[in-house]
Amino acid sequence: MILASWLLDALLAALLLWLAWRLLASPDLFKAVVLFIVFGLLMALAWARLAAPDLALAEAAIGAGLTGALLLDAVGHLQRGRRHPGDAP
């Protein structure tokens, strides 16, 4: 039982590090925002595993939910504002 808990925690930590690296290295803004949201949800799970339910709820609501929605909206505005090279000004 303790080994399974330790393995889950190690997997969660490794996944968080991998997601952070992929998020920062991603050239596509939409993909980076989606990875940010997934990172926030996994971070909320990590806080829950550390017996901090208040931080887990705050991370899920603010970090993944509200901030993720605002970033998705900003990416949408950026993509709509782009012009193709052949378009007239």
Nearest to 40 by CA among 12, 59, 21, 13: 59
Please determine, for residue 12, whether its predicted confidence score (pLDDT) is greater than 90.
yes
Q: What is the DSSP string of 1-56?
A: -HHHHHHHHHHHHHHHHHHHHHHHH-S-HHHHHHHHHHHHHHHHHHHHHTT-HHHH
pLDDT tens per residue across span 39-86:
999 999 999 999 999 999 999 999 889 999 999 999 999 988 876 565
d(CA 46, CA 13): 8
- pTM of structure: 0.84
Can you give the pLDDT at residue 14?
97
Can you give the pLDDT at residue 89?
56
d(CA 18, CA 10): 12
